[in-house]
Structure 1
Amino acid sequence: MRVQMLGLCRFSYVGLRGYQVEHDSVAARRDYLYDPQRLARRWLWFTKVALPAWQAQTDPDFTLVVMTGPDLPDPYLSGLRDLARQIPQLKLELIPPMDYHLAACKEAVLPHIDHSADVIGHFRHDDDDAVAFDYVAATRKDFNRVKALWKTTERLSLDYARGLMLKAGPDGVSLTPRICHNMGVALTIFLRPDVPETALNYDHSKLPLWMPGVAVTKPLMFIRSIHRDSDSGDMGPGLPWDVKGQQLERQLQRRFGFTLDGLNDLARQLG
């Protein structure tokens, strides 16, 4: 079965609903998202944390749709246009403000569905999180192992649950190893190509209501960032796992290309 890996990353999209931090009007939402200092911080998160691993995926056969508004201020809109020209997998979608967030996400994602694929692996990715270099390759391999389960309902979630919670402050970062199920990052939802739905159709915290799920608890697959601009600053439920010192440094470098010194420097830049 041929699987298309198709993701959505929202970059300061001005629209109502769909986030934990809500606003009463599009104007209030725009003022919040387009605050110059906030945009500068989000750009650092996106380009220094989220983007590097997508550029270095061991399996480059995927599409990542970056969704923002047509009035995103420069230099950020120009910067996204440049990145879309440089990175074949990155597709920029400029979606005007919409009252219903799910409809906006569909407008961004559905034009990129490959209807010749047998299955679409939908994923969402926040602009301040990171996945490991082999996320796409591992997802394809593991889906092939459980595709018989997908065939029973033609809906299936595949959750890479082992991650690091990165808390960033003015003095640097702290990293908490956690096994967290259905966090939203490194989580793939497999649907037929003719189904007009995306990963955003399903509340990731309630996925068992709609589909069977498979949790893969090794290897380390994601970093979730928690900071003052996070939509949710809650670490959420999970189980601890032990990694520290030089072993943690090796995992950061091998899985994501990061160093602890580099992450601390980024946190200090972010203030």
Structure 2
Amino acid sequence: MRVQMLGLCRFSYLGGRGFQVMHETLAERRAFLYDPERLARRWFWFENVTLPGLLAQTDPDFTLVLMTGPDLPEPWLSRLRELAGIMPQARLELVPPMEKHLDACMAAIAPHIEPDADVVGHFRQDDDDAVAIDYIRDARTDFAAMRPLWERRRRLSCDYSRGLVLKVTRDGVSVEQRVIHNASAGLTVYLPPDAQRSAVHFQHWKIGLSMPGVTLAGKAMFVRSLNHDNDSGAIGAGYPCPDDPAGRGRILVERFRIDLDTLDRAARDFGLPGADRPR
């Protein structure tokens, strides 16, 4: 059975809806998203939190769609083009502003769905979150055990619910290991290739209304980054895990290839308040 693993990463995509930070006009949203200092921070998190684990996947057989607008300012658009040229799994999709955000996401994803796959494992990869280096492998191999449940409705979610939360403030980065129920990071949505849907089409915090789901919390599988530039500053429903605080940096390195000291220095240099900010 062929399970295609297909991710969507939206890098400051300019469009309508799909956002919790709202703006009255498209021009206001463009000014917010394309602010040079904000884009520099977004790229830093993308380069130092998101990419390392993806580049180190133990199963390199996946596709990551990088979705942005055709007018993304330089040098960020050229950097995405360069990444798509050197990362075998990356596909750059430039989508003009569309009022319906889900339609825009489907326009980006649709060309990369393998029609002859038996199942597509969709995942949403925010540009400041991370998945562990064995995420693709486990999401593919674990499906074999879940297949009978998937065949009931030809929809299924798998929630790797244990992860690390990075809280970024002007004072640096704190780390906490938590179980978060159906966080967007580490959540796989298995659909048939002709479903005309993806992970973003289902609100992750209430995905149980749309399909059966399996929860696996045996090991840290995601990093959720909470910083000033998040669209949402909410952690999500869950609870802390008993662990060794001194070992959190080791987990970040071993499972995500993330260097905490680098992030901590950058957070202090950015000098911004945390994600829980007024809107």
Q: State the TM-score, normalizing by the size of structure 1.
A: 0.97
Alignment of 1:1-271 (within 5 A): 1-271=1-271
Does the CA contact (< 8 Å) of 1:16 and 1:22 recur in 2? no
- Cα deviation for residue 243 of structure 1 reads 2.1
Gaps of 5+ in 2: 272-279
1:91 is matched by which residue type in structure 2? R
- Cα deviation for residue 52 of structure 1 reads 1.1
Does the CA contact (< 8 Å) of 1:120 and 1:192 recur in 2? yes
- Cα deviation for residue 199 of structure 1 reads 0.9
- Cα deviation for residue 260 of structure 1 reads 2.7
> Could you list the per-position Cα deviations for residues 75-133 of structure 1 after superposition, in whole angstroms to 9, with x for gaps in the alignment?
00000000000001010000000111000000000110001110000110110001110
Structure 1, 182-191 or 248-257: larger mean CA deviation:
248-257
> Could you list the per-position Cα deviations for residues 20-72 of structure 1 after superposition, in whole angstroms to 9, with x for gaps in the alignment?
11222211110110011101100101111111111110000000001000000
CA 1:269/1:134 → structure 2, altered by over 3 Å: closer, same or farther? farther
Gaps of 5+ in 1: none
> Could you list the per-position Cα deviations for residues 143-180 of structure 1 after superposition, in whole angstroms to 9, with x for gaps in the alignment?
11111110111000001000111111222100121101
- Cα deviation for residue 138 of structure 1 reads 0.8
CA 1:90/1:214 → structure 2, altered by over 3 Å: closer, same or farther? same
1:189 is matched by which residue type in structure 2? V
SS at match of 1:71: coil
Tell me the distance in 2 between the aligned counterparts of 1:128 and 1:226: 8
Corresponding residue for residue 276 of structure 2: none
SS at match of 1:167: strand
- Cα deviation for residue 249 of structure 1 reads 2.4
Does the CA contact (< 8 Å) of 2:52 and 2:258 recur in 1? no
Q: How many residues align?
A: 271
Corresponding residue for residue 277 of structure 2: none
Tell me the distance in 1 between the aligned counterparts of 2:141 and 2:214: 13
Does the CA contact (< 8 Å) of 1:16 and 1:25 recur in 2? no
Identity %: 55
Tell me the distance in 1 between the aligned counterparts of 2:172 and 2:152: 47
Tell me the distance in 2 between the aligned counterparts of 1:209 and 1:246: 39
> Could you list the per-position Cα deviations for residues 240-271 of structure 1 after superposition, in whole angstroms to 9, with x for gaps in the alignment?
10223432222122111123322212323433
Does the CA contact (< 8 Å) of 2:175 and 2:248 recur in 1? no
> Could you list the per-position Cα deviations for residues 184-210 of structure 1 after superposition, in whole angstroms to 9, with x for gaps in the alignment?
111010000111111111111111111
Q: State the TM-score, normalizing by the size of structure 2.
A: 0.95
SS at match of 1:52: helix
Structure 1 runs of 4+ with >4 Å offset = none
Tell me the distance in 2 between the aligned counterparts of 1:36 and 1:254: 32
Tell me the distance in 2 between the aligned counterparts of 1:119 and 1:207: 18
Does the CA contact (< 8 Å) of 2:65 and 2:109 recur in 1? yes
| RMSD after superposition | 1.0
SS at match of 1:214: strand
Tell me the distance in 1 between the aligned counterparts of 2:245 and 2:183: 25
